[in-house]
Amino acid sequence: MRLYSYWRSTTSIRVRAALNLKGLAYEIQPVDLVAGAQRGTEYAAVNPGHGVPALVLDDGSVLTQSLAILDYLDEAHPEPPLLPDGAVARARARAAAHQIALDIHPVNNLKVINRLKSMGHSPDETVDWMAHWMTEGFAAFQRLIRPDTPFSFGEIPGLADLCLVAQVYNARRWELDLAPFARLVEIDARCQQVEAIARAMPDRQPDAP
Ligand SMILES: N[C@@H](CCC(=O)N[C@@H](CS)C(=O)NCC(=O)O)C(=O)O
């Protein structure tokens, strides 16, 4: 498989971690988001949505949207599972993941920040913007997960944890105050002890500077 990916992209981190957890082989095809490669004709042919990641399967099928890719990976390669047992628990795990993937990430995406800057907002204002949505989203996430498990929903890392580790990385990048989110910091630290997740983090990517 080939994964179109950018080292620091949180959506790419999620998918890299899932591929690693499931022991799947893949090669990385870097897409330089800062250089605008996601908007070039070559990548637009892969993903008309102009975002990473995109996963090309061995038969040439192209999958886009990180959550759809994660669903595919969990269906095609069920072990280890990304979701807990039981319909209610699964809905709750998905809801926590969506809190980050659908409520924090879209409003803090590079293209949104660039748009805010082009409308006259200063870099400091855009950092405030991102911090606002991360703080609100992390507060909700912390209340949505289980209070008593090593990972967000159980004994092994799952969908919500993969979204979390990526967003915590991004939060640290922008120097967000994580003091109110001790449970999230603790889960992130536990996830970083899992080699499959640690190997998915930005600094270990071939396109990291
Ligand atoms: N909803 C999409 C979002 C994909 C996306 O936009 N990813 C970001 C990187 S985290 C990106 O490529 N941004 C490029 C841009 O904003 O121009 C997904 O989950 O895959």
How confident is residue 89, by pLDDT bands cut at 50, 70 and 90? very high
Cα–Cα distance between 58 and 142 in angstroms, integer? 38
Q: How far apart are CA 54 and CA 178, in angstroms?
A: 30
Residue type present at position 121: H
Please provide the average confidence, as pLDDT, over all residues in the chain: 98
| pLDDT interval class at 176 (50, 70, 90) | very high
**CA torsion angle for 42, 200, 11, 37 (degrees, to 10)?**
-20
Helix, strand, coil % in the chain, rounded to nearest 5: 60, 5, 35
- For ligand 1, say whether the CB of 109 is within 6 Å of any of its atoms: yes
- Measured in Å, residue 109 CA sits from the centre of ligand 1 at 6
Ligand 1 proximity of 11 Cβ (cutoff 6 Å): yes
Which residue has the least CA distance to atom 8 on ligand 1? Answer: 51
Residue whose Cα lies nearest atom 18 of ligand 1: it is 65
Arithmetic mean of pLDDT, 83-99 = 98
Query: Does residue 172 have its Cβ closer than 6 Å to ligand 1?
Result: no
Ligand 1 geometric centre to CA of 149 (Å): 30
Residue 43 and residue 4 in contact, taking contact as beta carbons nearer than 8 Å: yes
For the chain, how big is the Rg over CA atoms in Å?
17
**Nearest CA, atom 14, ligand 1:** 51
pLDDT in tens, 34-83: 999 999 999 999 999 999 999 999 999 999 999 999 999 999 999 999 99
* pLDDT reported for residue 116: 98
Whether 170 is in the pocket of ligand 1, judged by its Cβ within 6 Å, is: no
pLDDT given for residue 206 in this prediction: 98
The residue nearest atom 11 of ligand 1, judged by CA position, is 51
Ligand 1: which of 14, 110, 165 to mutate, judged by most atoms within 8 Å of the beta carbon? 110
Q: pTM for the full model? A: 0.98
> According to the model, what pLDDT value does residue 93 have?
98
Instruction: Note whether 114 and 126 are within 8 A (CB).
Output: no
Domains annotated on the chain, with CATH: 2-80 (3.40.30.10), 87-196 (1.20.1050.10)
Give me ligand 1 centre to Cα 148, in Å: 32
